[in-house]
Amino acid sequence: MLFGRKQKNPIKIADKGVVDWKYTTCGYCSTGCSIEVGLDEKGEAVATRGVSGADVNRGKLCLKGIYEHELFKLEGRGETPLIRDKYYEAFEKTNWDTALDKVSDEIKRIQETYGRDSFAIVSTGQIMTEEFYTLGKLARGVIGTNNYDGNTTLCMSSAVSGYKRSFGSDGPPGCYEDFEHTECLLAVGSNLPEQHPIIFWRLKQALEKRKFPLIVVDPRVTMLAQMADIHLPVTPGTDLALLNSLAYVILDEGLEDKAYIEAHTNGFDDFYETVKQYDPVSASKICGIDEDTIRNVARTYAKAGAAMTIWTMGINQSTHGSDGVCAINNLNLVTGNIGKPGGTSLSITGQCNAMGTREWSSCSGLPGYRTLEKEEDRETIANFWGIDKEFFPKKRGLFQTDIFPAIETGQIKGLWIIATNPMTSMSNTDRIRKTLEKLDFLVVQDAYQDCESNQYANVYLPAGVWAEKEGCFTNTERRVNLIRSVIKPYADSKPDLWIFNQIAKRFEQGQKIKFPETSSGVFDELRTLSKGRMLDYSGMSHDKIEQQRGIQWPCTEGDEQGSARLYTDGKFQYPDGKAKLLALPFIDNNEVPDDEYPFWMNSGRVVEHFHTRTRTGKVGNINKFSPTPYMEMNPDSAKELGIRHGSYARLTSRRGDAVVMVQLTQRVAPNMVFIPFHFHDCVNRLTLGLLDPHSRQPAFKQCAVKIELAVDQHTAAERNKEARSF
Partner 1 sequence: MFKVRDDEPDYVFLSDTKSPRKNQYGDDIELAKKGDGLTGKSLNINGDEGVSDYPDRYKQHGFYFNADNCISCHACESACSEKNDLPPYLAYRAVGYVEGGTYPSYTRLNISMACNHCDDPVCLKGCPTRAYTKFAEYGAVLQDPDICFGCGYCTWVCPYNAPQLDMEKGHVHKCNMCVDRLEVGLKPACASACLAGALDFGVTETTPENRDQLKTQIPGFPTPEITHPNIRFQQTKTLPKEMTRADSTDIKYQLNDKKDAFVPVINESRANKTKHWNLKKLLSSHENAHIAFTLSTQTVIGAFLIFLYSQYMGGSTLGAIAEQARYPILISSFILMSFGMLKLNLHLGRPQRFYRGFYNLRHSPVSREIAGVSLFFAGMSGFIFFGFFDNAFTHFMAGLSAITAILGAAVGTYYMYKLYRIPARPFWDHWQTATSFLGTTMSLGGLFVLVASMITLQTSQIAPVADKLLLIILAGVLLEGIGLLGHAHSMKHAQHEGALSHFEQKTKYGKSYLLRNALLLLSLTLAYLAYQFSMSYELLLTMISILTVVTIAFAIIGRALFYVLVIPTTMPGAFFWRNKGFEEHARETGLADMPQTGVLPDGH
Contact positions with partner 1 (CB under 8 A) in 176-235: 193-194, 197-198, 200-201, 204-205, 208, 221, 223, 225-227, 231, 233
Site for partner 1, residues 683 to 722, rule: CB under 8 A? 717-718, 720-721
Classified as helix, coil or strand, 302 is helix
Q: With contact defined as beta carbons under 8 Å apart, do 155 and 524 qualify? A: no
Classified as helix, coil or strand, 299 is helix
Site for partner 1, residues 227 to 286, rule: CB under 8 A? 227, 231, 233
15 binds partner 1 (CB under 8 A): yes
90 binds partner 1 (CB under 8 A): no
Q: Measured from the CB atom, is 230 or 255 closer to partner 1?
A: 230
Do strands 265-266 and 579-580 pair parallel, antiparallel, or not at all (unpaired)?
parallel
How far apart (Å, rounded) are the C-alpha atoms in residues 436 and 698? 19
Beta bridge partners of 358: none
CB of 127 to partner 1, least distance (A): 25
CB of 643 to partner 1, least distance (A): 11
Site for partner 1, residues 619 to 648, rule: CB under 8 A? 619-628, 630, 634-635, 639, 644-646
Site for partner 1, residues 369 to 398, rule: CB under 8 A? none
Classified as helix, coil or strand, 353 is coil
Site for partner 1, residues 646 to 675, rule: CB under 8 A? 646, 663-670
Q: Measured from the CB atom, is 52 or 528 closer to partner 1?
A: 52
Q: Measured from the CB atom, is 221 or 513 closer to partner 1?
A: 221
**Long-range contacts for 60-63 (Cβ within 8 Å, ≥24 apart)?**
60/33, 60/198, 60/201, 61/26, 61/33, 61/35, 61/198, 62/33, 62/197, 62/198, 62/607, 63/197, 63/607, 63/608, 63/622, 63/625
CB of 721 to partner 1, least distance (A): 5
Q: Measured from the CB atom, is 95 or 621 closer to partner 1?
A: 621
Do strands 630-633 and 599-604 pair parallel, antiparallel, or not at all (unpaired)?
unpaired
Classified as helix, coil or strand, 574 is coil
Interface pick for partner 1 out of 58, 108, 276, 527 (rule CB under 8 A): 58
Residues with Cβ within 8 Å of 66's Cβ and at least 6 positions away in sequence, in order, are 48
Site for partner 1, residues 27 to 56, rule: CB under 8 A? 47-48, 52-53
Q: Measured from the CB atom, is 10 or 558 closer to partner 1?
A: 10
What letters, b where the CB count within 10 A reaches 16 and e where it falls short, cover 570-601?
Answer: bebbeeeebbbbbbbebeeebbebeeebebbb
Q: Measured from the CB atom, is 247 or 668 closer to partner 1?
A: 668
Q: Mind spelling out the 3-state secondary structure of 610-653? A: CCCCCCHHHCHHHHCCCCCCEEEECHHHHHHHCCCCCCEEEEEC
Residues with Cβ within 8 Å of 46's Cβ and at least 6 positions away in sequence, in order, are 16, 17, 18, 38, 39, 40, 69
Classified as helix, coil or strand, 441 is strand
548 binds partner 1 (CB under 8 A): no
Interface pick for partner 1 out of 137, 618, 655, 680 (rule CB under 8 A): 618
Q: Measured from the CB atom, is 226 or 561 closer to partner 1?
A: 226
The one-letter amino acid code at 234 reads V
Q: Measured from the CB atom, is 320 or 549 closer to partner 1?
A: 549
CB of 192 to partner 1, least distance (A): 9
Do strands 630-633 and 672-676 pair parallel, antiparallel, or not at all (unpaired)?
antiparallel
CB of 213 to partner 1, least distance (A): 17
Site for partner 1, residues 570 to 609, rule: CB under 8 A? 607-608
Binding-residue pattern over the window 314 to 343 for partner 1, x denoting contact by CB under 8 A? ------------------------------
Interface pick for partner 1 out of 23, 67, 301, 490 (rule CB under 8 A): 67
Give the binding-site size for partner 1 (rule: CB under 8 A). 77
What secondary structure letter does DSSP report for 137?
I
From residue 293, give the alpha-carbon distance in Å to each of 151, 280, 345, 389, 527.
37, 9, 22, 55, 48
Q: Measured from the CB atom, is 47 or 699 closer to partner 1?
A: 47
Residues with Cβ within 8 Å of 189's Cβ and at least 6 positions away in sequence, in order, are 217, 218, 239, 311, 312, 313, 314, 315, 316, 701
724 binds partner 1 (CB under 8 A): yes
Q: Measured from the CB atom, is 191 or 454 closer to partner 1?
A: 191
14 binds partner 1 (CB under 8 A): yes
CB of 714 to partner 1, least distance (A): 8
Q: Measured from the CB atom, is 233 or 393 closer to partner 1?
A: 233
CB of 594 to partner 1, least distance (A): 21
